[in-house]
Amino acid sequence: MISRTIRSYQFPQRIRIVSIRFCSNNSTDLKENEKITDIQKQRQLDSQLHLVKSRLKIDPRDTSIILFPGQGSQFIGMGSAIFDTPNVEKLFAKAKTILGYDLLKLCINGPIEMLSKTEHCQPAIFVTSLGAVEYLRHRQTSEVESCVATAGFSIGEITSLVFANAMSFEDGLRLVKLRAEAMQLASETVPSAMCTVFLYADAEIKMACQAAREWCKRLQIPEEHAVCSIANHLFPHCKVIAGHEEAIKFLQLNAKDFGIKRMRRLPVSGAFHTNLMKPAKKVLEKVLEKIHLEIPLIPVYSNYDAKIYRSVNEIREKLALQICSPVKWEQILHRMYDRPDDTPYPQTYECGPGTGLLSTLEMVNRVARKHSKHVKV
């Protein structure tokens, strides 16, 4: 059985959420641990609904939304701005035990080639992002207390689930570690790449991907490897395309024919969020079966369908599907910030390395972007 030792934020009674949950390392019979009755499940959902409703009664300007970045935002020196914050040292110490190497040293000193490897940068982004939450809590406790929704981009989705107390920090990091290793292995199997594409209004992006796949087949690339598809929906007229290396080269050579304004390669090692990640999806499914999950205490939006998680089973299913499906980030932002014209916006915080999510927010909702800040790491 997993011990449920919980360290709580010191919140007022009317708004109470649990901070990063830590557990013991001897998790065994997790299925037995999750056998709760339908009545108990309903009580959990009712409790979550009550929490959210209590916050929604507050002036929206006194609430917050917290976003967590994904892979590609890493940089040498990340972690140095938050390490002196209470509890952050504890996060890195636990990470060293779980990962088997000194993550803080790698974050601060590099080299960048090592930090940028999928197997290293995903844990680095996960831990530093949660460290940024601890920094924000230490400096402005009310901004964490009043959080009404959270979401994370790709690996950031796991960060958001840990923040919302759906899983412990340790289990979250183990999941991130195995996910990253599986994705790295899948990337090494097939030469692949990802590109941000900026589109004209009349762009034919689906036709472009289809043509790129047909080109791969003409090169006698096996059909299961002849992949090219949308990996991320970022903002209007901007997507990320991923697939076989030859498919990406084809698009770069023929971009104008399909209404693609320009393309920019991403510093990642594979075609994430495409069918080339199916081997990694199988690994993730097995890992998720062994992790103790709970219904999030605040709404967490899924990358897979841009909907709020409603059950533990949904978390297991959608986190696995996410790895080989497009990230619906633009759709998430529309849903998170949808409100009548005369309704104020909450304060948004991007917690973690980089400001990419806030830049994306500006392209989707400029008013919401005006009420946002970055928590540096």
Q: Minimal CA–CA distance to 8: which of 17, 162, 48, 305? A: 17
pLDDT, tens digit (0-9, with 9 covering 90-100), for 29-80: 454 555 554 555 666 666 666 666 555 567 888 899 999 999 989 999 999 9
Q: What pLDDT does residue 13 have?
A: 29
Q: What pLDDT does residue 46 have?
A: 64
Q: What pLDDT does residue 59 have?
A: 83
d(CA 324, CA 283): 12
Q: DSSP character for 24?
A: -
Q: What pLDDT does residue 349 have?
A: 98
Q: What pLDDT does residue 48 have?
A: 62
* Active-site pick, 233, 244, 273, 292: 273
Q: What pLDDT does residue 56 have?
A: 58
Per-domain residue ranges of the chain: 30-186+276-375, 191-269
Q: What pLDDT does residue 20 have?
A: 67
- Backbone φ and ψ for 58, nearest 5 degrees, come out as -80, 155
Q: DSSP character for 31?
A: H
Whether the CB-CB separation of 66 and 351 falls below 8 Å is answered with yes
Q: What pLDDT does residue 58 have?
A: 77
* Active-site pick, 154, 160, 168, 325: 154
d(CA 247, CA 226): 8
Per DSSP bridges, beta strands 147-152 and 192-199 are: unpaired
Domain 191-269 classified CATH 3.30.70.250? Answer: yes
pLDDT lower than 70: segments of the chain = 1-57
Q: What pLDDT does residue 8 have?
A: 29
Q: What pLDDT does residue 135 have?
A: 97
Q: Which fold has domain 30-186+276-375?
A: Malonyl-Coenzyme A Acyl Carrier Protein; domain 2 (3.40.366)
Active site residue 273: yes
Place of tokens 């008013």: 367
3-state secondary structure of 193: strand
Q: What pLDDT does residue 10 have?
A: 28
Active site residue 225: no
Q: What pLDDT does residue 369 have?
A: 98
Domains 30-186+276-375 and 191-269 share a fold: no
Does the global pTM surpass 0.95?
A: no
The rounded mean pLDDT for the chain is 89
